Structure 1
């Protein structure tokens, strides 16, 4: 194939103007891996703009302790959006439950109260584990994003500066990825 690219889903070599992969049927975006006639491979962006939430969440949590792998802007910001929305839903559920339990519970017998207490304790532990796991995943994704944009990892310490540090980091997180990034610091 003289003018071809690779499928963004299965990696099969296809015609460069193909809208769908003939092998797997996946829709192709304009951003993919192209091959020029001189067999020089040019990588542009392998993330589909229509990637599913499941894949985004899987990439966020599967690399939760990884700092060496880069993270694209798309994955970073979609991961941040997921965590933000999950936090809102989580706090709404917790606040609704606490409000409900603070009301007089005339319909619950005294023998059922220990069961509710144990259930709430278990829910609290699950929420705590989720919060710690998510916090570590977001922290490492911030470091991976800095690395992907070719900035030193020590810049994450800017978060310790109230308000201004977050704004400065926001600037760095919005920067495009750097190809052939060798930043390992």
Structure 2
């Protein structure tokens, strides 16, 4: 049921938000020269996939966890995209492709070994990673791997259609700060 909702809501989001996509893409082209950002992440069953986002940092920024990058690395437009969570919109494509869900543990990088270890211990890789989830709403990022993995486990254990919509609504209404920089 949740996979069906993922597909329907993602398609609807892509259609309804296509003007926003176009504007952000054009502005991003002037901001960084390459508005889309592609990065290998850890997916379900620890299989790699390529995450798509709107770029919020200059082209040659080191590929590390966001909390390890200084705030000076985020462009002015990037700060706006992160604050409004618009940088996440291209991930709707990842959802349609079956690599992600709208709700699930945020996908980490393969070099975040502590996060991978803690999540593996708690079953977080048994589900598709998500655009949002309980940890994001509670403003817990990957700088605290144990706390993050515990919230991921709690979210997975208590997942229901009601909670699925609740996480999405709370995210759209602005709960959670996004990735810390």
Same fold, TM-score > 0.5, yes or no: no
Structure 1 or 2: larger strand share? 2
Give the structure with higher Rg (CA): 1
Relative contact order higher in (CA < 8 Å, ≥ 6 apart) = 2
